[in-house]
Structure formats: C-alpha cells, structure tokens
Structure 1
Amino acid sequence: MRSVLLVKTSSLGDVIHNLPVVSDLLHHWPKLAIDWVVEESFAEIPRLHAGVRKVFPVAVRRWRKQLTQRATWQEIGAFRQAVRSNCYDLVIDTQGLFKSALLTRMADGLRCGYSREAAREPLAAWFYDCRYAIPKTAHAVERNRWLAAAAAGYSPDLPLRYGLHVDTADTAKPYCVLLTATSRDDKLWPEAHWQTLGQALAAEGLRCVLPAGSARERERASRIATAIPGAELAPPSSLGELAQLLGAAAGIIGVDTGLTHLAAALDRPVVALYVATAPGLTGVYAGPHALNLGGRGQCPAPAEVLAALQPMLTKKIRP
C-alpha cells in the first residue's frame, strides 16, 4: 500500500481522536503517504503529526452558509481538483457524517467508512465502497482505530500513540494551564471552583495560565485570574502556539473542550472536568496521566480535582 487519505473534518476533539490512526498505519507501512481532509480552522492539528504528508483544508461550515455565492463553488471545485490529483489505495472516513461522506466521495480510491448501523448519520454509509460495523460502545479513539484497521486489513492491537511533536521551551517557574472555556454554558465549571483551585496551585508555587479566545471567554478568564495570585491570561494564540503552551505545562485542568483533549494527546498530566456530559465514550483518552472527573449532572469539587492532579505532578500540592 502506497497512500491513504483520511477524512476527519471536525470538531477539534474529534480531529485529535483520529491522530492515532496515522501512527497505526505507519507502524505497518513506514513509507506510507498519508493525507488528511480537515476543517480549515483545525488544519494545524494534523500538521503536528510528522506522519501526515499533506493536509487538505475544507470550509464546510462556512460553505453551508454561502451556497449561493460563486466563490463558494469555486472553493469546492478547487478542493475537488486538489484531492483528485492523487489516486489513493484507501480513502477512510472516520467521521461518519453526511458531510464527510460527500467529501470522501470526491476523492479517488477505495472509499471506506462505517456501516449504516455504526455511522453517526446512517445516510453516510451509502457513499462508501466498503462498510464496517464498528461497535458504538467503544471510545471514539478506538472506533477510529478499529475502522482503519478493518479497512487496511491489520489487527488493531497496537499501543496508543498520538504522534504529536511540538517544540517547548524550558520555563524557570512551573505552571499549570486552566482551560476554563467551552462551547456550551452548561459544560462550564463554576468560577468560584476555578478560583479555589488556582489559589491552591499558586500556594504551592505553580503559576496559573488561562487561555481564552472570544471576548466573552476572556472576560470570564480575567475574573477567575484576578482572584489567583500570579495568574495570567495567555495572549490570543493559534492552535500550534496553544500546543506549545500545553506541551510545557506541569499539569492541565480543563472542561469538556477540544484543548483538553489536545493536552492529553501531548502526554501531559490532565484532569478533565465533566458537568453536563458523560465522558465514557468521548472523554480524555491517553493512559494513566489523563483522568476524567464528573459526568452528566455531576460537578467535581475543587478538593477532588486537586486530589486527582496531585499524584501526577512532580511538585506536590495540598488539597
């Protein structure tokens, strides 16, 4: 086998969950050329894996809002032309959605995806040449890996490897990253809890850094940081810059958001906080240094978070 195209467009956490597929394929075919179709806003993530040759950014989210514009169809045509400039042995859609299946259909190669009963959107299965019944009860990372293994014909029993490589600078003072923002308000952890947690970390000499994107997120992060001695807001950053920040952190505590999954994929000590969603099938998944706390209708207390983080840090903290 010479080349494979992976189709996993979004969201950020889903894209990160697909990275081990690259490592698995390269274990069996070290010279394999692997390309990836991904939403333009997440294109930096596949590029952090040295095994990805080429990234094809798409803008499905933007295109759907601008279907009447000529420029949109020009972009779609340019994508189709670019992706069809290669003839792939396999085109593997691990997204399992109608939109990803349409993109898969544009590529030249044996198109593989989930069966009707296994796909997130059953209609997607009609666009594949080969369909596989991957259990929905498995974690998302393993579903991706099992689908790729079934399509490529190998046993999915390899060690889990995300394969991310980022440059990190040594820092004089260790720091923890607090990922306080997420896409839904019901997933947020209370501000008072963040302040209590941050104060405990600061008392043990750990500087707290709070990334935030939108103006609303920065306002909330600023309120939290104000109550934590020495805390600081991270400047507006790209995904690559955030990966560097996370990669050098002593520990990361985050809500249900893609950046928390990125931290876990970077093999950093991570505690993921769940309040409105269940972590069983989509929680952080990266071995003993990635822990999920809480769940639907549950809210972990700061002391519980500190107790979970403590064994993973070289500098101990007191609950």
Structure 2
Amino acid sequence: MNGQTKTTKSPDALDLRSVEFSRILLIKPSALGDVVHTIPVLVKLRARYPRARIDWLITPENAEIVRCHPALSNVVLFARRDFSKRGRRWRAFLSFFDLLKQIRRAKYDLVIDMHGQVRSAFFALISGAPVRIGFDRPIKRTLTVSAEHDLKNVPTHGWRGAREGSWIAYTHRIPIPTLDVHAIDRYLWVGELLGFDDTPPDLTIYLSPETIRNVDRLLSEKGVSASQPLIVLVPGTIWETKHWTIEGFAGVARQFLHDGYAVALAGTKRDEQ
C-alpha cells in the first residue's frame, strides 16, 4: 500500500494484525546493548511488512550498529549529546527542529517506541502517526524466584515498563505480563499486537566494509589472526543490574582462551581505568 495507511476505525479499536502498514518508524535511540536487543524487532517488522519503509530513530554513536542492516530503510539521527556541548547548543536546537520536521514530513502510519521515556514518546506524538505503540505503565516488581532467574537480586530501579508518563502518548500499549524475561523477548512482545511470525530472533549485525577493514587492522596490530575466532567481552556498565565481578570476567576469558578463542575487552577510557 502506498502512502499512509487509511483506516475507518479509531486507532485504538483496530486489530493491528489485519493492517498493512507502509511507513514505519522504530524508536530506540540508545544505549548500545538495548539497540542490539531491538534488532530482532526490526527483522520481524521486515518479514511482516516486506514492502514497507522502515526507519529507525537513533543517536549517531549507535547508528553504525544498524545502518547497514538489510531490513532497514533509513536511520533518523537524533544528536542528543550536542545539547550538552558548549558552543553547539544553538546549532543543536536548530538541528532538533529540523529533525522534528523530517519526522513529520515522513507521514509514518506506525510508530513503535521501544524506549519508553517522555522524550521518545514526544517523537512518537510529533510524528502524527495514527498508530503509536509503546509499553504499558510500570508494574510492581515482585520478589519471586524461578529456576532461571532470581529477582531478589534485581534492584527496584530496574526496568518495569514505560517511564515518565510516556504511555499516555500511545494508541496501543504493550502489556507487561512479567518482568522475569530477557530484554529481547520483552521487545518482541510487540509482535502480539502486530502478528509477527514465530521464527527464532535474529541478532545478526551487518557492518560496512570500511568498519570491517578497520577492525581487521586493529586486531592485526594486537596480534589476533583474522582466521581465529574472537570473543569480545564488554564489562563496563552504568546499571547495577548488569555489574559483574572482575574475577567472573577473568574466569570466562580463561575458559575461552583454553578453548582456542582469542579474547578482547571493549569499553571506554573510564572502563579501562
């Protein structure tokens, strides 16, 4: 279907599984791990809407993770960090208004907000899309124990649903039946509304030839052969729920080395210190 999807019912009364959306915006600006965990949603969207334009609103520092993905039509850049840089704030505001006009002109008929904050919900609203999907309001975290996960070890500030009242901006809310679930599975709950297939999640990351050459050169400088399987560990995080011990990472690294893998650590200068 060309152009914006036409409907005769109010958006909240629609069975979205019967609608063929043609212009879709996926909102997940950051952070790196969350962006990676959202890739399976992109893949499912492309399978569900093979002829649709599918764009992703994302920050420049995370855009390279998804820019070359064959399921994606365009990246829509939100330069959030420019607002905190001296001398760039006026330019940042001008760019921000250009971004809003860009989103508005795209005439999306479906916006999916996987971020769930007031800022991302604002983008969903300003798009003018008749269908806007996001997570429901937070639910209470119960201290239950399952065979796979001990919620007693999860701080109360962990993810519980949409935040900052962002759920008000959505025409359709993704129910939150449990918190005892991996982020990938949680993001894929949107498929219950849209009618995704039941194939396993696809987390493949597609990189540009230039990026691959740069990585190969860096590994070569570190003495890692291009033919040797490589495991990258990323120990740095700001979230208490994701912290692990140095001893734990060291033990995992030793096991991988024993099994014949090369091991690299990735992170920021602060992580290095």
SS of 2:55's equivalent in the other structure is: strand
Give the 3 Å change call, closer, same or farther, for CA 313–140 of structure 1 in structure 2. Answer: same
What's the secondary structure of 1:81's corresponding residue? helix
* Maintained 8 Å contact 1:119/1:125: no
In the alignment, which residue of structure 2 is the partner of 1:158?
199
Contact 2:44 2:196 in 1 (8 A): no
Question: CA separation in 1, counterparts of 2:221 and 2:28?
Answer: 33
Q: Which amino acid aligns with 2:202?
A: R
CA distance in 2, matches of 1:6, 1:97: 14
Deviation at 1:253, TM superposition (A): 3.4
Secondary structure of the structure 1 residue equivalent to 2:69:
coil
Unaligned runs of 5+ in 1: 178-206, 210-229, 232-244, 258-273, 280-294, 315-319
1:111 aligns with 2:132: yes
Q: How far 1:67 moved relative to its partner?
A: 11
Partner of 1:54: 74
Q: Measured at CA, do residues 249 and 6 of structure 1 come closer, stay the same or move farther in structure 2, by a change above 3 Å?
A: farther
Of 18, 26, 29, which residue of structure 1 is paired with 2:49?
29
- The residue matched to 2:73 in structure 1 has which SS? strand
1:85 aligned partner: 105
What CA distance in whole angstroms lies between the structure 2 residues aligned with 1:11 and 1:113?
A: 17
- Paired residue type of 1:251: L
Confirm or deny that 1:71 pairs with 2:112.
Answer: no
| Higher alpha-carbon deviation: 3-12 or 159-168 | 159-168
| SS of corresponding position for 2:248 | coil
> Displacement of 1:27 after TM fit?
1.8
Q: Which residue of 1 aligns with 2:147?
A: none
- Aligned match of 1:5: 25
In 2 relative to 1, CA 304–84 (structure 1 residues): closer, same or farther, beyond 3 Å?
closer
Which amino acid letter does the alignment assign opposite residue 234 of structure 2? V
Q: Cα gap change, 1:146/1:248 in structure 2, threshold over 3 Å: closer, same or farther?
A: farther
Inter-CA distance 37–151: structure 2 relative to 1 (3 Å threshold): farther
- Per the alignment, residue 305 of structure 1 pairs with 253
Match of 1:141 among 184, 199, 212: 184
What does the per-residue CA deviation read over 1:286-315, in whole Å, with 9 as the maximum and x for residues that have no partner? xxxxxxxxx64572264543224544749x
SS of residue in 2 equivalent to 1:126: helix
Secondary structure class of the residue paired with 1:15: helix
Secondary structure in 2 matching 1:299: helix
Letter in 2 for 1:162: L
CA RMSD of superposed structures (Å): 3.6
> Mapping of 1:166-315 within 5 angstroms?
166=207, 167=209, 168=212, 209=222, 230=223, 250-257=229-236, 277-279=240-242, 296=244, 299-300=247-248, 302-308=250-256, 310-311=258-259, 313=261
Give the length in aligned residue pairs: 215
- Aligned-partner Cα distance in 2 for 1:6–1:78: 18
Q: Look up the equivalent residue of 1:154 and give its one-letter code.
A: F
Q: Deviation digits for residues 241-282 of structure 1, max 9, x if unmatched?
A: xxxx9x97611231335xxxxxxxxxxxxxxxx9x8545xxx
Q: Which one has the bigger strand percentage?
A: 1
The answer to which structure, 1 or 2, has the higher relative contact order (CA under 8 A, 6+ apart) is: 2
- AA partner of residue 145 (structure 1): L
* TM-score (normalised: structure 1): 0.57
What TM-score do the two structures reach when normalised by structure 2? 0.65
